[in-house]
Amino acid sequence: MNPNVPQEVRIINAISEQLFNSWPVSIIMIDLEDCIWRLNQQVMNELQLNEHVIGRHITDLLEVVCDKKNVLEALLLQLRERDVRIIPLDTNCFIRELKSGISFLIQGAMVGIHEDGQLVRIVLYFRNVLEERTQKHLLNIALSRTQIFQWSFDMEHNLMIIEPRYFEYLGIPTRDYTLTPEEFAFLIHPDDRKGVFDALALQLRGNLYERPVEYRLRRGDGKWEWFEAQSTYVGQLTDLPFRIIGICMSTQKYKDTENKLNEALQKAQRSDELKSVFLANMSHEIRTPLNAIVGFSTLLACGDADLSRQEIMEFTSLIEKNSQLLMVLISDILDLSKIESNTMEFHFEKVSLNGILESIYSAQKMNLRKGVELLLDLPDRAAVIYTDPTRLGQVVNNLINNAVKFTAEGRITIGYRLKDFATLEVFVEDTGTGMSEEVLAHIFERFYKGDAFVQGTGLGLSICKSIVERLGGKITVNSEFGVGTTFNFTLPYNIIKKVADTTEGMQSSLSSQSSQLSQSSQPSDLTEQPSNETPQEQIPEKQACILIAEDTDSNYDLLNAILGKNYRLVHAHDGMEAVIMYDEVKPDLILMDIKMPNLDGLEATKIIRELSATVPIIVQSAYAYPQDQKAAKEAGCSDFISKPIVQSELKKMLNKWLSPELNNKIQE
């Protein structure tokens, strides 16, 4: 130790030496002959050098490679001969030790050390950034293939700093890839701003809030896109964080997928609900005509001598009518099965569209109720088309039957018109009740019924739609509630020519079609049936009075045929009428249907139970599942009998609930 050196200098030198060897930065000091003058411990560790290299030319030991070229000599020359003090090494620069072959990516600089204006030393310092650059590069690759963006909040300058891809992705301009809080707030949907800034405010106050925040951002095209952001803070100088960093990610595609899945789920749930309703409805629709068939058949089979010839004919007619209803129901179910399995057969041939519609008109006009007129609107020139006449007839008949159900008076018009040179449009127009917007939205869905009290499976229009599409057309509907409805469907068409209706072959074909279409025509409650109600004066006043709540006339006719000679019957056509008539008549027993318009049987039962806790109320319904019986019991019904009604079971039930003085114990 030189005693002439001041203590302060010695201390500074000691500190410098300690720092020189402890710094995590590699340092090589070079003299003016390009020889290594000094190097620190870090560079010896990284490049596996030792102090024996001191005094050797640096170019014999190392290479500095930039863009695949060794630039070490050029850099040294530049520092010696030009007025350059520092040369950065921060872009794609490598250091390589020639003997061992050790190399890695570096960031640093070459610096000229001057004394009295003269260059005295050159310092090469660098830091190994291979791992850092590798991780950053991998992250950038990953992020570039996603809609994930890095951001930070500069507390000092009150700025959001966001990577360039963010602005490119959203299609919004930027000055320097920064946003003020006001600019950022403008991009956020008004409904989401509070949630975003509440979370940010918590972190700005030093609270650790790392839960994701969802919000919508305004794109450059004005559209909104869903994002999710998550952040945390970096360090604290005071009670406040130094900086907030985070990522944000576009979640729009996930939202879209989620929405599609929700729609699919809702559709599946709706389909499941509709199928459940369909099964319950099918039970009701099958049991209702079956009730009349079984009941009247039993009456006829018993050979009751009191039956008049008129009653026998009437019972036979009702059996036939309800048998036809069952056939239509079964046909719809079979057609649905064929459509589901793609096995519905089609047989295309050249046919006269005029001839088909005329045959349908002739068959259908016999089924209309009083006050309803069926009209035929055909062009003068008949169109010959290539189609399946049976399936086409099925569609038209179904549309007419549907119109009949909802047209109490007025007219139903069928016909067709030329829509364009290649398309015909068939229409079925009525002046009936029309449909609401809600019904129109679901009218072609399977199992859907716009009016639960109208007979049918809810399959007819769905089947029509499938058939029309198979025929190469499209079906649509226009309706105004209270005014009427028009169904239109298109058919492909190429040639129009005059058809000789007198041709033997064509007449034979039309005759066959007419027969098929007549058989497939849905029977309807169109003709007024003569009442089978027993005159009340014929029934002794001491006999029990039974109120029958039943909206289907044939079912009431059956009950009247079974009970009318032994009991005094009162007929209510719906639940509301049943409540009013109960209060007026005070019957001894009530036979209550469940499915009725205006007020269903269960709701009517609840109201009647407020008036009387003792009057027997027996549900007679085509809904025969256990849950239906449970619902009837909970509503206050005394007993339950399912349709089709067996006469002996019904009589047992009446004998059970009617007191002996009111019941004449009819024979079972």
What's CA 359's distance to the chain center, in Å? 42
Could you give the percent of the chain with pLDDT greater than 90?
A: 31
Residue 84 has, within 13 A of its CA and on its CB side, a CA count of: 16
What pLDDT score was predicted for residue 284? 63
Using pLDDT thresholds of 50, 70 and 90, give the confidence band for residue 439.
confident
Mean pLDDT of the chain, nearest integer:
81
Using alpha carbons only, give the angle 491, 492, 498 rounded to the nearest 5 degrees: 95
Report which of 521, 553, 530, 479 is spatially closest to residue 368, judged by C-alpha positions: 521
Show the tokens assigned to 543.
């006999």
Cα 208 to chain centroid, rounded: 39
Sign for the pseudo-dihedral over CA of 116, 117, 119, 124: positive
- 537-552 pLDDT, tens digit per residue, is 444 455 789 999 998 8
Could you tell me how many helices (H) and strands (E) the chain has, helices first?
Answer: 20, 25
- 338: Cβ contacts below 8 Å, ≥ 6 apart: 344, 345
Question: Which residues does 276 contact at the CB level (< 8 Å), separation at least 6?
Answer: none
Amino acid identity for residue 181 in this structure: P
- Residue 576 CB neighbour total at 10 angstroms: 18
Q: What is the pLDDT of residue 507?
A: 42
Q: What is the mean pLDDT of residues 344-353?
A: 88
Between CA 129 and CA 110 the distance in angstroms is 17
pLDDT given for residue 190 in this prediction:
94
Cα(158)–Cα(148) distance, rounded to whole angstroms?
23
* Omega of the bond leading into 3 within 30 degrees of 0 (cis): no
What is the rounded distance in angstroms from the CA atom of residue 428 to the CA atom of residue 417?
12
Cα–Cα distance for residue pair 410/291, rounded to 1 Å = 32
- Cα torsion 74, 79, 81, 84 to 10°: value is 120
Alpha carbon distance 72, 87 (integer Å): 11
Handedness of CA 429, 432, 434, 440 (dihedral sign): negative
- The winner for highest mean pLDDT among 219-233, 327-341, 372-386, 602-616 is 602-616
Q: Where are the alpha helices (DSSP H) in 458-568?
A: 460-470, 504-520, 553-563
Q: Poorest-confidence range of 293-307, 361-375, 511-525?
A: 511-525
The highest-confidence range among 5-9, 15-19, 236-240, 368-372, by mean pLDDT, is 368-372
- 215 pLDDT band, cuts 50/70/90, is very high
Q: Which residue has the tokens 């034979």?
A: 508
Question: In percent, how much of the chain has pLDDT > 70?
Answer: 82
What pLDDT was estimated at residue 206?
A: 67
Q: Which sign, positive or negative, has the C-alpha torsion 286, 290, 292, 293?
A: positive
Query: Strands 372-377 and 410-420: what pairing?
Result: parallel
* Sequence-ordered list of residues with C-beta below 8 angstroms from that of 53, at least 6 positions apart, any chain: 36, 39, 61
The DSSP H or E segment spanning 106 is strand 103-115
Q: Report H helices in 568-657.
A: 575-585, 601-611, 626-635, 647-657
What does the pLDDT look like over 184-196, one tens digit per residue? 999 999 999 999 8
Range of 119-133, 145-159, 298-312, 335-349 with top mean pLDDT: 119-133
Instruction: Return the exposure string of 467-482: e unless at least 16 CB atoms fall within 10 Å of the residue's CB, then b.
Output: bbeebebebebebeee
Q: Look at phi and psi of residue 371 and say left if phi exceeds 0, alpha if psi is from -120 to 50, else beta.
A: left
Residue 514 reports pLDDT greater than 50: no
Both tokens of residue 123?
Answer: 């310092």
Query: What angle (nearest 5°) sits at the alpha carbon of residue 136, between those of residues 131 and 139?
Result: 125
Reply yes or no on whether the pLDDT at 501 is more than 50: no
C-alpha–C-alpha distance, residues 252 and 148, integer Å: 12
Q: What is the pLDDT of residues 440-463, one digit of tens each?
A: 887 887 666 555 445 555 677 888
Query: Tell me, what's the pLDDT at 193?
Result: 92
Q: At a CB cut-off of 8 Å and minimum separation 6, what does 128 contact?
A: 26, 46, 104, 105, 106
Q: Within 10 A of 112 (CB to CB), how many other CB atoms are there?
A: 19
Q: Rounded distance, CA 336 to CA 582, Å?
A: 43
pLDDT of residue 592 exceeding 90: yes
Flag whether the pTM goes above 0.85. no
